[in-house]
Amino acid sequence: MTRPDTATKLATDVSSMFDEVSPRYDLINDVLTVGNDRLWRIATTNALAPRKGMRVLELAAGTGTSSAAIAKHGASGVAADFSEGMLEEGRKRHAGNELIEFVFADATALPFDDNSFDAATISYGLRNVSDPRKALEEMRRVVKPGGRVVIAEFSTPPSQLVRVPYGLYGKYVLPRIAGVINRDAAEAYKYLNESIEQWPNQRELARWMREAGFERVAYRNLTFGIVALHRGFVPREVPKPAVVADATAPAPKKPAVKKPAAKKPAAKKPVAKAAPKASPAAKSATSTSKSGTAAVKKSAKQTAPAAPKQTNTVKPNAGDA
């Protein structure tokens, strides 16, 4: 097996690596994470909060293990991946589960319409994508305004007490155990370890998410930060102004400036006590402005129902991702 170059992560190298490990992928995961992957999946599914009737995209879905967990909540899912081997394995395992559809798709050029999913998720896949920021933009594009995106990915344990032994485990122990289960897998897990070492930390990934257009981005660490769960929301549409000025229209003519009439000597009048009346012009100006305001408010209500407050602060273990 050719180990993909972590600098380029060529699509053909990455997909064929996963094609080869696909039959034993889930078993290797369980062994290498000492079963923690199952707990991480539960946390990821809870953060996504799938419900009956929702349409969820799982990107880089592999054999569809997370899609199956999502389907248990009654949501239908598209499990998208660009490794035919992983997709084939997934189709076999989840045959008969009508809520999961396996689709061949590259995360950086998704074959789905804008706003076509209620939510999207990606687990341990973003790190393997050659252009992860493009994949984030694609997720933002296909998820409806207000929809949520959840990312589970290996990350940087904040404590050195965890970081150092975990680094040694990844470098020396992990590929050996994987190699015992499947000889080819040793190379794959060397690559996976390198890709984890080069992956941005929690704060940096949160920044990428905000730059891709997500709002209310937050993350929390799982198992001392070995894995981090990030979540963000696709902003609701910004209300358009009710009246759009036509930039091409000729500028309105300025009213001719009236010369002030020559001052006549003021004739003394008796003081009238009647209440001052608004001139017809002033009256019409008042009513136009009132109805104009109402129109703008109404249109704002229609286009942006109760937009949630944006809090872009991302703290370690912050948020409810």
Ligand X SMILES: C[S@@+](CC[C@H](N)C(=O)[O-])C[C@H]1O[C@@H](n2cnc3c(N)ncnc32)[C@H](O)[C@@H]1O
Between CA 82 and CA 59 the distance in angstroms is: 9
Residues of the shown chain interacting with ligand X in the complex, contacts defined by CB under 6 A: 11, 14-15, 18, 60-62, 65-66, 81-83, 86, 106-108, 123-125, 128-129
What is the rounded CA–CA span in Å between residue 193 and residue 169? 9
Closer residue to ligand X (CB): 71 or 314: 71
Distance of closest approach, residue 43 Cβ to ligand X, in angstroms: 13
The residues near 155 (Cβ < 8 Å, ≥ 6 apart) are 199, 201, 202, 205, 221, 225, 226, 227, 228
Contact 18, 11 (CB under 8 A): no
Nearer to ligand X, 25 or 214 (CB): 25
Q: How far is the CB of 240 from ligand X (least distance, A)?
A: 34
Query: Is the Cβ of residue 110 or residue 234 nearer to ligand X in the bound state?
Result: 110
Q: State the DSSP H helix or E strand holding residue 79, giving kind and residue range, or none if neither.
A: strand 76-81
Residue whose pair of structure tokens reads 């490990």 in the numeric block:
21
The nearer residue to ligand X, 132 or 225, going by C-beta atoms, is 132
Query: Shortest gap between Cβ of 285 and ligand X (angstroms)?
Result: 59
Shortest separation between residue 157's beta carbon and ligand X, angstroms:
19
Cα–Cα distance between 197 and 174 in angstroms, integer? 14
Shortest distance, CB of residue 215 to ligand X, whole angstroms?
Answer: 25
Q: Which tokens sit at 83?
A: 């490794």
The distance of closest approach from Cβ of residue 112 to ligand X in the complex, given in angstroms and rounded to an integer, is 13
Residue whose CB is less far from ligand X, 135 or 217:
135
Neighbours of 16 (CB within 10 A): 16
Alpha-carbon distances, residue 64 vs 35, 79, 81, 85, 165 (angstroms): 17, 6, 9, 12, 31
Q: Which is nearer to ligand X, 20 or 216 (CB)?
A: 20
CB of 122 to ligand X, least distance (A): 7
| Two structure tokens written together for 212 | 């891709």
Q: Nearest-CB residue to ligand X?
A: 62
Q: Nearer Cβ to ligand X, position 44 or 314?
A: 44
> Which is nearest to 120 in space by CA: 151, 83, 82?
151
